[in-house]
Amino acid sequence: MTPQAYCTERVAPPGSALHYSLRGTATDRRNDIIALHALADELATAAAASHDPGVCSARLHWWHGELERATSDTAQHPVARALGPALRAGRIPAQWLDDLILSSQAEARGLRPPDFAALLAHAHRAGTPITRCTARVLLTSTGASGSRQQTHETAEPVWLEAATTALGAAAWLVAMLRDVGHDARRGRLYLPIDLMQANGVAVAALLAARTGEGVLPGGFKPLLRTLAAATDQIIGDALGHIPTDARRALHPLVALARLQRTLLAEISADPQAVMTGRIVLTPVRMLWITWRAGFGR
């Protein structure tokens, strides 16, 4: 299996959100973006692989070294090898990925944000590298020589930082809300402590409910709906930063944002479902949403 096939199988198989969002994207750009998401998935897996923070830290430290090796074409892991060409060409600045590792280390240590501001700060650190690098890849032009380079017109527009920062944070928040039950079953909770207390949701009760040993606290539904509404607002504001004439070039980011807003609506409609399973959108629905996103609908 090639490095790119490994990445695609891991995070963008047919029927996945990433698969549909990248339909119509040039192959080289698509490969870079899939490799980015595969890296984020590998780091999240490494952070959650053990209850021993020392073991997780060692694995994440290894990943830091592996990304450095990718810049000199000596990496061994297929994800690092898939990222290598983009890192060496500067399409993906290696230093932009540092926050991915730092945020994974925070999660490995047992992230417990005291309030939404702290949760959002972590979401920015964990999610922005992917969206920022994705935008850079998408706004890279292909020259006459076949090499890709950023042009003056598309290199970090004024609005781009605000949009990618917000979309990255929102993407992490959506995944966190979707996976509350899955994370709770592993003894991990990223919900803000102050909002849990305000809604009368005790950690012990929530952890008991994860396995059916207890009753889900009554305040759990309003808690998740509050967080889902705040996340939806972040996505709406982010999309508002993107000029109409840039939306086609950034279609994968816009399409994913549309899918995330739809998923948030599903979570808000039935918050309890995240504790018993994983809410997913059907392939047909994802295809329809991403197609409409290409027309600004």
The token pair at 72 is: 């000199």
> What pLDDT is recorded for position 1?
92
Q: What confidence tens digit (pLDDT) does each residue in 75-94 have?
A: 999 999 999 999 999 999 99
> What pLDDT is recorded for position 109?
86
- How far apart are alpha carbons 105 and 54 in whole angstroms? 10
**CA atoms within 13 A of residue 69's CA, in its CB half-sphere:** 15
Helix (H, G, I), strand (E, B) or coil at 142: strand
Indicate if the pLDDT at residue 53 is higher than 70: yes
Phi, psi of 164 (to 5 degrees): -70, -35
Q: pTM of the entire structure?
A: 0.91
Quick one: pLDDT band at residue 200, thresholds 50, 70, 90?
Answer: very high
Indicate if the pLDDT at residue 52 is higher than 70: yes
- How far apart are alpha carbons 190 and 120 in whole angstroms? 11
- How far apart are alpha carbons 186 and 110 in whole angstroms? 11
Stronger pLDDT, 155 or 116, i.e. the higher one: 116
Per the listing, tokens 């781009």 go with: 160
Q: What confidence tens digit (pLDDT) does each residue in 138-149 have?
A: 998 543 334 455
> What pLDDT is recorded for position 151?
39
- How far apart are alpha carbons 143 and 150 in whole angstroms? 10
Indicate if the pLDDT at residue 132 is higher than 60: yes
> What pLDDT is recorded for position 295?
67
The token pair at 278 is: 């994983």
* Burial label, 239 (beta-carbon count in 10 A; 0-12, 13-18, 19+): buried
Among the ranges given (20-34, 52-66, 106-120), the one the predictor scored with the smallest mean pLDDT: 52-66
- Domain boundaries in the chain? 1-110, 111-297
AA identity, residue 119: L
Indicate if the pLDDT at residue 22 is higher than 90: yes
Rounded mean pLDDT, 190-201 = 95
> What pLDDT is recorded for position 20?
96
Rounded mean pLDDT, 238-260 = 95
Angle at 139 between CA 133 and CA 141, to 5 degrees: 125
Rounded mean pLDDT, 119-131 = 96
> What pLDDT is recorded for position 216?
85
> What pLDDT is recorded for position 49?
79
CATH class held by domain 111-297 = mainly alpha
Quick one: pLDDT band at residue 156, thresholds 50, 70, 90?
Answer: confident
